[in-house]
A = this chain, B = another copy of it.
Amino acid sequence: MQLQLSTWPEVEAYLAASRSVILPIGSTEQHGPNGMIGTDALTAAAIANAVGEATGALVAPPIAVGMAQHHMAFAGSMTLRPSTLVAVVRDCVVSLARHGFERFFFVNGHGGNVATVTAAFSEIYAEASLGAPGNRAGLKCVLRNWWESAPVKALSKELFGNAEGSHATPSEVSVTWFLHPDAQKPMALDPPVAPHGSFADAADYRRNFPDGRIGSNPGLASAEAGRRIYNAAVEALAADYRAFAA
């Protein structure tokens, strides 16, 4: 049940049965020479909506721009500063808490969001923990990276082995090609597998990873692989959501 396609009386009816909601969050950032800039937002939104269909959960619209400061040396990347993203997550959660929602299940498409969104949860909790009265006590938020459940990781390993890497992975690129077959951009990459390493600011990132990939070969991506990964992720997260909302 997508929030965007629902009416307020329908949400009111939903609340009579459930206090839980799914919120997809992604990023808008370079994904290497042939990966879509919207990879993390498109995958998070599609998987979250499918989890919503599988479980009957309400799904909020995606937060499409996340924390991606390290990608800013590649054209088209967008970022919220961490302090801005904390405010966005807080306002979204507090808005829904206003209506009686108590459990917030974030489906995340971007590793770079994890620290900031986790900090945002603490910012929300801190208000209640420091003794401010009101309707913001007793909330529970969790963040789930769609690519990290055991079945998805096993499948990625089976399909791509050591060429999976950690950014612009063939797994995530495959899912976007499954979702947007018209936007597939098959390409032989040079080197086939990108270097591994760490990074700090955007200039440092670009110096270390000149075409944007980290440790991956998205030249191996395919829509069929994307279909399998997508299904595995939806199944795993649906089980996870059911347990969380119970």
0 or 1 for each of A92-121: is its CB under 8 Å from B? (1 = yes): 101111111000000000001011101111
Whether B60 contacts A137 by the Cβ 8 Å rule is no
- A168: shortest Cβ distance to chain B, in Å? 10
0 or 1 for each of A79-92: is its CB under 8 Å from B? (1 = yes): 11111101110111
- A10: shortest Cβ distance to chain B, in Å? 8
Interface: A69 (CB within 8 A): yes
Whether A82 contacts B126 by the Cβ 8 Å rule is yes
Interface: A227 (CB within 8 A): no
Residue of B nearest to A112 (CB): B122
Number of this chain's copies in the complex: 6
A140-166 contacts to B (CB < 8 Å) = 140-141
Interface: A28 (CB within 8 A): yes
Whether B98 contacts A72 by the Cβ 8 Å rule is yes
0 or 1 for each of A49-65: is its CB under 8 Å from B? (1 = yes): 00000000000111111
Whether B28 contacts A3 by the Cβ 8 Å rule is yes
